Amino acid sequence: MKTVALLVLITAVVTYAQTPAPPKPKSDAEKIASALSAGPKFVTQNATVLDWPNSAGGDFRVLRAGTNAWTCLPGRPQAAHDEPGCFDQVFLQFIKDSIAGRTPNVQSIGISYMYGGFWAPNKSHAMRSGKEFHVGPHIMIIGLDQKMMQTLNQDASNGEPYVNHLPGHSELYLVIPIREWDDAQAVHAVMR
3-state secondary structure of 3: helix
Q: Which DSSP letter does residue 169 get?
A: -
For strands 138-142 and 110-114, give the pairing. Answer: antiparallel
Cα(75)–Cα(84) distance, integer angstroms: 4
Instruction: Provide the pLDDT for residue 125.
Output: 53
Instruction: Provide the pLDDT for residue 39.
Output: 96
Closest C-alpha to 176, from 149, 146, 156: 156
Closest C-alpha to 89, from 59, 75, 104, 109: 109
Cα(41)–Cα(36) distance, integer angstroms: 8
Cα(189)–Cα(13) distance, integer angstroms: 11
List, in sequence order, every residue forming a beta bridge with 50; answer none if it has no partner: 62
Closest C-alpha to 60, from 74, 46, 40: 74
Domain residue limits, the chain: 2-191
- Report angle CA 110, 112, 117 to the nearest 5 degrees: 150
CB neighbour class for 187 (10 Å; exposed up to 12, middle 13-18, buried from 19) = middle
Instruction: Provide the pLDDT for residue 22.
Output: 52
Complete edge-to-edge strand list for the sheet that includes strand 162-164: 61-64, 48-51, 71-73, 85-87, 110-114, 138-142, 173-177, 162-164
3-state secondary structure of 186: helix
| DSSP characters over 31-84 | HHHHHHTSS-HHHHTT-EEEE--SSTT-PPEEEE--SSS-EEE---TTSSS---
pLDDT mean for each 10 residues of the chain (192 residues):
33 35 75 95 97 87 97 87 92 90 88 86 57 79 89 82 82 84 43 34
